[in-house]
Amino acid sequence: MNVLKFLAVVALAVLVHVLGVRMLPQFALIVDVFLVVVVLYGLEASSLTALGAGLCLGLVHDSLTGAGFGLFGFADTLIGYGAARLAQRLVIQRPTGVLALVSFAVVAQQALVVALTFLLLPWPEVPSPLWVALRAGASGLLGMLIHVGSTHWRRTAEARRRSRLSRLRLG
Amino acid sequence: MDERRTGWVLILVLAGQLVVLALQGARAGDTFLESLGLRLVGPAGRAVASVPESLGRLGEGLRTRGTLLDENRRLRREVEDLKLRLLQLNDVAGEARRLGAAVRHAAPPAGRIRAVDVVYADQASWLRTLIIYTGGVETKISQPVLSANGLVGRVVTVAGPYAKVQLLTDRAAGVGAMIVRTRRQGIVRGRGRGSATLELDFVPIQAEVRPGDVVQTAGIDGVYPRGIPIGTVTAVAQGGQLFHRIELAPAVDFSALDQVYLLDFAPAPSDLPEAPAP
């Protein structure tokens, strides 16, 4: 069930990314949907699951880019694992905490990707720092919104479940 | 699984990916994982690309009779113009063939083109990509991709009915090119960092180059045939002691690609057999 849920999330991330690029050509520059999902997974899953999620989503992202295959796979694996380890040590529940974490993850991912291109690819390129800053802010905002939305949805579902249980006991 | 074991798994996964990346730098073509990834994400791109097409068809169905009559008249005029142009070109082609035969010139065979749909295009980011749906028709690595206006790039990954195209604006792309007016040859490269312009390298400072000069493929790289428009010179500066620094505006608007053409062209063999010693 968890695997199916994860696959559905991956499919949704791909659809959002492809649709976003279709509607706004700069979408891939502004938001990294895949990394947002990786970090949010890292906050809630075990480090091994987060590592797997990072690897999977990173490789899917690599399939949609023209650079070397495995650049985002490498970076997102490391970031998924790092986010999970951080969540084990710190309690990150505030929306602003999620925003800061996703934004930092975007900067770290870009740094890792650039370092790898310089080390391993014949024509390394550096993205514009302005776009990286914009990407960090926008992705952080998206991560925060998803976090707030999912927390609210979970609380509502839990409240409904409790009220249903209490009604059953009374009856 | 305890954290120490997870740490080992992480190290193994990262090392594996580093090996895959390092191997890619050393060879051309695609990997199994890349093909698999393309097969998985390709349908999503196709599904999204088909939505505006369906809406467009719906819109076409709702057009008024007057609009259709106007369009019909315009298309008829266009067909007449194109017929006239075809007659002129046939005449020129016949003349070129006769002249070629007189001097026994063996012209390279012209390739056949096939229209394919673009399902995903990211031309803005520094990791620019184009994914096309070929419909299962045979597609080869390094096959040239064109649009009606000029050269788009070449196929770098093939996965079933999907293929990934390296755009001309990619920093790693290189095309043997020539300035049409002077026949001077050089190498066209992408400028990277999301720039939509190109640069023409290795044109010596003695060569005369002007803004407005048209640049075409030279057919010297063994990948692209001669005569495909690449772009127009927009700026010329002295790059160093030997070569000009030439900036080009591409002939193709990469942001407006929804259909491209695959060129069936037999590239030059990479290893030519040596002639036996006399």
Domain annotation covers residue B270: no
CB atoms within 10 A of CB B247: 17
If you write DSSP's letter for every residue of B224-269 in order, what string do you get? Answer: S-TT-EEEEEEEEEE-SSSBEEEEEEESS-GGG-SEEEEEE--PPP
A-proximal residues of B, 164-183, CB under 8 Å: 164, 166-167, 170-172
- pLDDT at A51 > cutoff 80: yes
Top residue of A63, A106, A112, A114 to mutate, by most chain B CBs within 10 Å, is A63
Confidence bin at B264 (pLDDT 50/70/90): confident
Confidence bin at A170 (pLDDT 50/70/90): low
CB atoms within 10 A of CB A31: 25
pLDDT in tens, A8-37: 999 999 999 988 888 888 888 899 999 999
- pLDDT at A101 > cutoff 80: yes
Q: Quick one: tokens of B274? A: 């040596």
pLDDT for B126 equals 67
A-proximal residues of B, 57-96, CB under 8 Å: none
Cα–Cα distance between B118 and B135 in angstroms, integer? 11
Q: Which residues of A touch B45 (CB under 8 A)?
A: 18
SS3 B150: coil
Better pLDDT: B138 or B277: B138
Pick from A2-6, A115-119, B46-50, B77-81 the range whose average pLDDT is largest: B77-81
Q: Give the structural domain span for B216.
A: 174-257
Q: Using CB atoms, pick whichever of B21, B125, B130 lies closest to residue A29.
A: B125
CATH number, domain of B200, equals 2.40.10.350
- Best CA proximity match to B270, nearest among B141, B115, B109: B141
Contacts for A66 with CB less than 8 Å, ≥ 6 apart: B122, B127, B128, B129, B130, B156, B164, B166, B167, B170
- ipTM value, please give it: 0.81
Same domain, B2 and B37: no
Same domain, B147 and B90: no
Q: Which residues of B touch A121 (CB under 8 A)?
A: 21, 24-25, 172
Same domain, B14 and B81: no
- pLDDT at A41 > cutoff 80: yes
Pick from B53-62, B92-101, B228-237 the range whose average pLDDT is largest: B228-237
- pLDDT at B28 > cutoff 60: no
Q: Using CB atoms, pick whichever of A66, A70, A127 lies closest to residue B129.
A: A66
Q: Quick one: tokens of A105? A: 């993850």
Q: Which residues of B touch A46 (CB under 8 A)?
A: 1, 6
Q: Would the CB atoms of A59 and B37 count as touching at under 8 Å?
A: yes
pLDDT for A84 equals 92
Cα–Cα distance between B76 and B70 in angstroms, integer? 10
What is this structure's pTM?
0.79
Same domain, B142 and B196: no
Same domain, B218 and B183: yes
Cα–Cα distance between B40 and B34 in angstroms, integer? 10
Same domain, B100 and B120: no
**Domain count along chain B:** 4
- Best CA proximity match to B130, nearest among B238, B246, B256: B256
Same domain, B249 and B201: yes
- pLDDT at B137 > cutoff 70: yes
CATH number, domain of B123, equals 2.40.10.340
Same domain, B13 and B59: no
- pLDDT at B3 > cutoff 90: no
Same domain, B16 and B35: no
Q: Quick one: tokens of A120? A: 């391993």
Same domain, B160 and B185: no
Task: Give the helix/strand (H/E) hosting B41.
Answer: helix B32-61
Task: Identify the closest residue of chain B to A119 by CA–CA distance.
Answer: B22
How distant, in Å, are the alpha carbons of A85, B14, B60, B267 from that of A46?
8, 18, 52, 51
Same domain, B238 and B187: yes
Same domain, B143 and B185: no
Domain annotation covers residue B271: no
Domain annotation covers residue B61: yes
Distance from CA of B158 to the nearest CA of A (A): 12
